[in-house]
Amino acid sequence: MAGTTADRERASTALPTESPTLVWAVAGVALFALEAGALATFVTGMVADLFAFVPPLGPAQPVVATLVEWANAAQSVAREVPTLLSRETIPNEGYWNGGRWVDTFLGLEPALAWAVRVALVYGYAVACAGWAILGYRLYRREIRPTDWSPRDDVVDRFRSHTWGKFGLLVVFMFVVMAVFAPALGPTTVEQNMRESYSHEISYWNSDVGEVQTTLVGQANLESQSTGTNSRVMPFTYDDYNRYHPFGTLPTGRDLFTFIATGSRISLIIGVLSVGLSALLAASLALVAAYYRGRVDLGMVLLSDAVMAMPQLLLLIMLTTVLADTWIGGIYSGAFVLALIFAGTGWTYMWRSVRGPALQVAQRQWVDAARSFGQKPRVIMRRHMLPYITGYLLIYGSMTLGGAIIAIAGLSFLGLGVSPPTPEWGRAINLGQDYVTTGSWHISLIPGILITVVVTGFNALGDGVRDAIDPQSDSAGGAAAGRGGGA
């Protein structure tokens, strides 16, 4: 009890107050309030998109139409909620009037205004991460009834894992880019890609020495990167006072905006496919381990049959067949890709967790639960699932990297996510004809980003694996590698 009391007293040093938990909660509310509008817009937008793609259901169609109308109205209201980290608050799209910059944040040039917004976005993300870490520390010191749990050793081992922390940093930056893509881009998808001829911009015409206006689409045509003589390179301005951190595409569109928006598509497909694969793999592994015998044999035969199917051929067939259906229209085919990846990739994760599930099924506490008459689903959920959760995290993080590569590869081949939806593989495809010219940045930048992100997910998986079971470092490396290539 003395040790517990000392820990409780040390907890007050986490924050300068007698009630650190209350201050932590207030800080969380304040952080949420800063971006409440953006979060509400994102949630209502996803709901509106899902309802919009619901197929006609006869008598239920008027109800669906009403729900779509309500979701769109809620999204419009959410957009009116003030948001700190937005391009309206910190604008970077302005023009030079001959003496100063106009319509930019504090009159800064567009490059500096954009850099300020990016720095604040990542600073906000770091503050949220710090708030979550502090919350975990407060939970360990003030709320949790025990002074120690095995998770503490896992966290401590991960903190000393340099390679795993590198992976966590890369994944963190990638997730922040995906979540805050609308705020990070120097321009918007609607203005620069989808409705470029519906928006005007002002710019300084040095030939005549005055400010003029033109359509964004026309400005894009004159800002194309198609070789040495016609290009807008990274960290430069075009002739219309627009700053391009990664240069422009052959169409003249901003490459950074394309990549930031494409990261959200890759993350959604990857997380959805890995989540469905983990759910299916865990369910089948627990059932096979609990009943064993013929049930386990049937699962093995089923997994062998699925693994024998040519995944690439199946992807081509299903994406082509379902392209014009309602399910193929959800997020420009991203939902179909996630379902195909989950339906064909669960076998690798199932084989990875089948062994641990068979081990825990033979533990004494499982036999004791059976003897007390607990139902099989209760035993599997309470006494077996926690044991294999760590393995699901390990192979899930590595499989996510493989999914990102697969998505980029399909987009490079012209499959999967349908244009004009941005995707990293499509950017590489657009720039492959200019690799040997002065517009080499079009393919090189997204290619490097894909390599770094996939390496980050694999490094994170290595760190989680070594933290959960440090004795399996040498034995689990081969299996982990296969999981990452799934």
- One domain for residues 311 and 411: yes
> Is residue 3 a part of any domain in this protein?
no
Beta bridge partners of 95: 102
> Is residue 468 a part of any domain in this protein?
no
Q: Which band of pLDDT confidence, cut at 50, 70 and 90, is reported for residue 64?
A: low
| Tokens standing for residue 121 | 């976005």
Q: Which residue, 202, 236, 253, sits at the end of a domain?
A: 253
- One domain for residues 334 and 208: no
Q: Which band of pLDDT confidence, cut at 50, 70 and 90, is reported for residue 56?
A: low
> Is residue 286 a part of any domain in this protein?
yes
Asked whether residue 209 carries a pLDDT value surpassing 70, the answer given is yes
Average pLDDT of the chain? Answer: 82
Select the more confidently predicted residue: 315 or 158: 158
Q: Which band of pLDDT confidence, cut at 50, 70 and 90, is reported for residue 404?
A: confident
- One domain for residues 297 and 406: yes
Select the more confidently predicted residue: 45 or 198: 198
- One domain for residues 193 and 321: no
Q: What is the CA radius of gyration of the chain?
A: 26
- One domain for residues 231 and 325: no
Q: Which of 147-161, 191-205, 239-253 has the lowest mean pLDDT?
A: 147-161
Select the more confidently predicted residue: 70 or 128: 128
Q: Which residue, 198, 227, 253, sits at the end of a domain?
A: 253
Q: Which of 8-12, 242-246, 285-289, 471-475 has the lowest mean pLDDT?
A: 8-12
> Is residue 275 a part of any domain in this protein?
yes
Please report the pLDDT score of residue 61 as a whole number: 63
Please report the pLDDT score of residue 431 as a whole number: 87
- One domain for residues 295 and 326: yes
Domain count, the chain: 2
Question: Which residues, 6+ apart, have CB-to-CB distance to 80 below 8 Å?
Answer: 37
| Residue 312: other Cβ atoms inside 10 A | 13
| Residue 129: other Cβ atoms inside 10 A | 13
Select the more confidently predicted residue: 158 or 52: 158
pLDDT digits (tens, 9 = 90+) for 453-483: 999 999 998 888 888 877 754 434 433 333 3
Angle at 181 between CA 176 and CA 186, to 5 degrees: 125
Over residues 68-83, the mean pLDDT reads: 73
The H or E element that residue 204 is part of is: strand 200-205
Q: Which band of pLDDT confidence, cut at 50, 70 and 90, is reported for residue 485?
A: very low
Select the more confidently predicted residue: 77 or 175: 175
Q: Which band of pLDDT confidence, cut at 50, 70 and 90, is reported for residue 59?
A: low
| Tokens standing for residue 350 | 């199932």
Highest mean pLDDT, choosing among 36-50, 320-334, 425-439: 425-439
| Tokens standing for residue 411 | 């987009």
Please report the pLDDT score of residue 451 as a whole number: 92
- One domain for residues 201 and 298: no
Over residues 159-174, the mean pLDDT reads: 92
- Checking 143-152 for CB contacts under 8 A at 24+ apart, the result is 143/21, 147/3, 147/4, 147/7
Smallest CA-to-CA distance from 94 within 74, 108, 75 is with 108
Asked whether residue 429 carries a pLDDT value surpassing 80, the answer given is yes
Asked whether residue 5 carries a pLDDT value surpassing 60, the answer given is no
Please report the pLDDT score of residue 152 as a whole number: 79
pLDDT digits (tens, 9 = 90+) for 356-402: 888 888 888 888 888 888 888 888 888 888 888 888 888 888 888 88
Please report the pLDDT score of residue 483 as a whole number: 39
pLDDT digits (tens, 9 = 90+) for 12-24: 444 445 678 888 8
Assign 233 to helix, strand or coil: coil
Q: How far apart are CA 182 and CA 86, in angstroms?
A: 8
- One domain for residues 233 and 296: no
Q: Which band of pLDDT confidence, cut at 50, 70 and 90, is reported for residue 254?
A: very high
- One domain for residues 300 and 194: no
- One domain for residues 419 and 453: yes
What's the longest Cα–Cα distance across the chain? 90
Asked whether residue 258 carries a pLDDT value surpassing 60, the answer given is yes
Q: How far apart are CA 84 and CA 34, in angstroms?
A: 6
Please report the pLDDT score of residue 60 as a whole number: 56
Do 256 and 246 contact (CB within 8 A), yes or no? yes
Do 457 and 486 contact (CB within 8 A), yes or no? no
Backbone angles phi, psi at 125, to 5 degrees: -65, -40
Q: Which residue, 201, 234, 253, sits at the end of a domain?
A: 253
Q: How far apart are CA 118 and CA 125, in angstroms?
A: 11
Highest mean pLDDT, choosing among 10-24, 158-172, 416-430: 158-172
Smallest CA-to-CA distance from 78 within 182, 161, 172 is with 182
Please report the pLDDT score of residue 482 as a whole number: 37
The helix, strand and coil proportions of the chain, stated in percent and rounded to the nearest 5, come to 70, 5, 25
Select the more confidently predicted residue: 409 or 249: 249
* H helix intervals, 80-143: 110-138
- One domain for residues 438 and 396: yes
Please report the pLDDT score of residue 52 as a whole number: 60
Smallest CA-to-CA distance from 428 within 410, 416, 453 is with 410
Q: What is the CATH number of the domain that holds 383?
A: 1.10.3720.10
Asked whether residue 269 carries a pLDDT value surpassing 50, the answer given is yes
> Is residue 12 a part of any domain in this protein?
no
Beta bridge partners of 243: 237
Please report the pLDDT score of residue 3 as a whole number: 47
Q: Tell me the whole-structure pTM to 2 decimals.
A: 0.83
* H helix intervals, 80-187: 110-138, 150-159, 162-179, 181-184
> Is residue 266 a part of any domain in this protein?
yes
| Residue 383: other Cβ atoms inside 10 A | 18
- One domain for residues 352 and 418: yes
Select the more confidently predicted residue: 77 or 381: 381
> Is residue 115 a part of any domain in this protein?
no
Is the bond leading into 420 cis (omega within 30 degrees of zero)?
A: yes
> Is residue 478 a part of any domain in this protein?
no
pLDDT digits (tens, 9 = 90+) for 102-133: 999 999 999 999 999 999 999 999 999 999 99
Please report the pLDDT score of residue 13 as a whole number: 46
Q: Which band of pLDDT confidence, cut at 50, 70 and 90, is reported for residue 58?
A: low
Residue 288's domain spans which residues? 262-461
